Chain A
Amino acid sequence: MRRQLLNQLSGLLLLGLLLPATVATAAPASEPALPKFSKATLDAIGRIPVQHGGRVKPLSTFATYSLLHIRHRKGFTDGDGKRMSSTEWFLRASLFPRTAMRDRVFRIEDSDVLDAIGLKDLKELKRKTDYYSYQELSPGMRQLRQKFREYVQVDRNDQTRAQKQVIALGSSVNIYESIQRLFVFADFGVPLRGEEQSGQFGGREFAPLTEVLKKLRATFQAGEDPEWAQPLAQAALTVAYESRGLRLAAPISADDGYLADWFTVDVMVDRALGDQPDADANMAYIEKLEALHAARGNAGALEKASIALYEEARARAESSKAYGKIDLEVTYQGLKAFFWSKWIFLLGFFVMCFALLFPKLNKPLVRTAWGLAIFGTVLSIYGIVLRCVLLGRPPVTTLYETLLFVTGVACLTGLAIEWMNRRRVGLFLVLSFGALGMFLSDGFELLEQQDTMRPLVAVLDTNFWLATHVTTITAGYAAGLLAAAFGHVYLFSYILRIRRNDKEYYRGIQRMLYGTLAFSLIFTVVGTILGGVWANESWGRFWGWDPKENGALMIVLSQLAIIHGRLGGYLKGFGLSIASIASAIIIAFSWWGTNLMGVGLHAYGFTAGLDTALKTFYAVEIFTMLVAGLVWFYDFKFASKPSLEESVTA
């Protein structure tokens, strides 16, 4: 019966999208002053398990990626310059919506989008890329929702840049409102209509939701169904429906709480009114939420209410065996392994530079760089392992993860090479490659603006093939790029005339390059064929000539051509270096380019960012090859002495 009521309401409440934020804008400005949230409060709130994006995660993760989507940053700085974590911002936006609506939290990359939603005046006051508050955008909300609904119907490939901007802003507003309205049910309570309803609650106009629910439950359990009861139940559901933005509560004692549907506030209200066995538990959860809202003005009371809510949420999730990895994920997020390894690698890189500049301090500096390289690599790999444990699958399933994995494998390979020959070139490359890889993964996360741990589509859900094909081919990318990095060292040394007469130096780089390329070839060949074997197992065809398959084939072909070129005597040190860089361009095309095929003038946001980065990479690499080619040509044509190439290969 309650479900039917919900269904009836759904049509009406879909209008939620149409309506401007009635709750936040029309509400009386009665909100207590913001207290200072204690560490314990933030910790408890951050650990509350929620279900979002198809998986169970701590609320802190949800808050972080919501903020990243809206503000393009993982933290928030208020008007007074106070920096706060995403969990703190979440509490502020949900418990203090009237204060938070003045926070400039919406990042708009291109203010032209304001024209589309009728806010031309606002545009003139701002920079092209700027931050906006919910209040500032409010006058354009109706138009924004209307256009958002219209544009999401357009095929993604046909959407114009302006349409994509509207969709991006619209989805930010949707996320924000799901947080902003989370406690609407507690903020207002249930409106009581008519004397009969009002009379049940001492003549009041509004009553707290839990009070209403208790009254209704008592009435229904007594077998009564007075005239005021059904409309009141409907009103309670309507209020709760406004707070439906987050799946907060695990079902009690589900077989697999990770796969079952979790409950939003309205579903809990519906079940609290019904005769399901979890009615009391749902009632208790709503009470805890209401208590948290009631305690919001007092830091001490808020801490107690937060802990009580967390314990309730945890007990529910544990009853469905769905809490297991929450604490580990909080640890993973708090560790910031990739963030720190980025700075460690960078520090190591500078230490190596100093080692080159101050030969007297060479030994201690190189040892320090060794330590930093090992520490950075271990920390990155620890982060990757934590992700594997959290997701329960091999380390490479998304483009973001390929960045981490490629960096990790390249660093390990570089360390192995350095351990074998102690020429310091490997060490230098580990530090620069590690820093670059981690900077790129960081940048990618900022561009993508969504949780980097996502559930897999059915066809990818096979740990065997993910562990074999995907990791193998990605390791091939890593080694191929590292080979190209050796190629860069060779070419830069050659262009800048470093150790010009040190044949052994150039021969050494050449050998390392060739060895890494051969190592890469093993993985790309085996990985590509394994990909075909997987496709054969899943779809019954070994090879379908699709862009990703073709990309992998192109890498294999380029590396085979290089290896045969070297064996046939066509490629020596210089040629091998140039060819390894050309092969790196092909790796980049296969790895990223095939995902961006067909991206044209309409690219926006994430896609445009990737497209620019990729084209920049192509341009820089082609430029490097051209400059090296010109220097070689100059040597060949004008140098009286035998060219370096001849002297090295002689």
Chain B
Amino acid sequence: MKKQQVDKRSSLALRTWSKLVKNRLAMLGMIVAIVMVLVSVFANLFAPYDPSKIDFKSATRAPSWSHLMGTDKMGRDVFSEILYGGRISIYVSVVGSVLGSLVGMILGCIAGWFGGKVDAFLVRLSEIFLTFPNMILVLILVAFVGQGVNNLIFIFFITGWMTPFRMIRNEFLSLREETYVEACKAFGISNFSIMFKQILPNTISPIVVATTINIANYILQEAGLSFLGLGVPVTVPTWGNIMNAAKSVEVIRNYWWLWFFPGTVISIFVLAVNFAGDGLRDVLDPNL
């Protein structure tokens, strides 16, 4: 009996996997994203220079064979900075997005399962959060909690729980009427167990998609915040911090490599994650 169940599950996983492999754009996106993550994680193996080594003698050099993407105003190698910068940018957005989804998931379970006043309260709360432009909400929180890698993660998860919350809640509203839930209740299984063990696994695929798409959004937000100089402290290299230099017209005009390369890297990564997310949605949506 148990073995059969395991087989069935793995065959579903296999079918999903083979559908995903056929979706070329999604596969391409995934491969590009994974390669970029790996290169960033192992930046110390790939980076030709120390990203924080200041060398004014070779400042603002145009791209060449010795400096593939040129050097910045302090003579740091832009290519190495981008490799190391990916670490923080990706770490912040992935952890922020996963935490946001977790909080949204738990609140969504509670709202969808208990309904009534709890539900009305949580829905209102999410509506209020959604009324504020996300970027402005993030800026307000930066004003209150200050800058920093962990602060940014905290801010991202505070501002990112609403979409997963609404998804899970809506799924719960329909799923809690299902016969299997009634059966569970009849067996005397606890609320907690029905919510998290029986119903929640059925709602996991939209969450996976929402989390993926959120990662892409947070990469963009981190880049924007750091570009403004309000994200991660300037001493830590991130993709946005490298672009911070491009706030001055002089840099835009004369040193194109200082903004063109980091901007392109951000765009490619976000594009790849979006492709992967769209592909996952097509594959995981049972209605298609």
Tell whether A and B belong to one assembly. no
Q: Which A residues are closer than 8 A to B by beta carbons?
A: none
